[in-house]
Amino acid sequence: MSDQKPLTLTLENNIAHLVLDRPDKRNAMNKEFWQQLPAMLIDLDRGGDARVLVVSAKGKMFTAGMDLAMFGANNNDADMEIGRKREQLRQLVLDLQACFNVFEKIRMPVLGAIHGGCVGGGVDMVSAMDCRYCTEDAYFTIAETQLGMTADLGTLQRLPKLIPSGLVRELAYTGRKINAPEALRCGLVNEVFSDQEAMLDGVMSIARSIAENSPLAVQGSKEMINYARDHSVADSLNYMAAWQSGMFQAPDLMQSIAARAQKKTADYQDLPARKKIFE
pLDDT tens string for the chain (279 positions)?
445 689 999 999 999 999 999 999 999 999 999 999 999 999 999 999 999 999 999 999 999 999 988 766 655 677 889 998 899 989 999 999 999 999 999 999 999 999 999 999 999 999 999 999 999 999 999 999 999 999 999 999 999 999 999 999 999 999 999 999 999 999 999 999 999 999 999 999 999 999 999 999 999 999 999 999 999 999 999 999 999 888 776 687 778 777 787 878 888 888 889 877 665
User: pTM, whole model, 2 decimals?
Assistant: 0.93
Closest of 121, 108, 117, 135 to residue 218, by C-alpha: 108
- What pLDDT is stored for residue 276 in this prediction? 74
Q: Is 260 left (phi over 0), alpha (psi -120 to 50) or beta?
A: alpha
Chain center to CA of 134: 14
> Where are the domain boundaries for CATH 1.10.12.10 in the chain?
215-261
Closest of 225, 240, 243 to residue 131, by C-alpha: 225
Q: Kindly report the CATH number that applies to the domain delimited by 7-211.
A: 3.90.226.10
- What pLDDT is stored for residue 1 in this prediction? 41
Any idea which fold 215-261 has? Answer: Lyase 2-enoyl-coa Hydratase; Chain  A, domain 2 (1.10.12)
Label residues 169-188 b or e (16+ Cβ within 10 Å = b).
eebbeebbbbbbebbbeeeb
Between CA 16 and CA 37 the distance in angstroms is 14
- What pLDDT is stored for residue 76 in this prediction? 62
> Where are the domain boundaries for CATH 3.90.226.10 in the chain?
7-211
Q: What is each CA distance from 151 to 56, 66, 169, 269, 278, in whole angstroms?
A: 22, 11, 12, 41, 38
Burial category of 255 from C-beta neighbours within 10 Å (exposed 0-12, middle 13-18, buried 19 and up): middle
How are beta strands 15-20 and 7-12 bridged, if at all? antiparallel
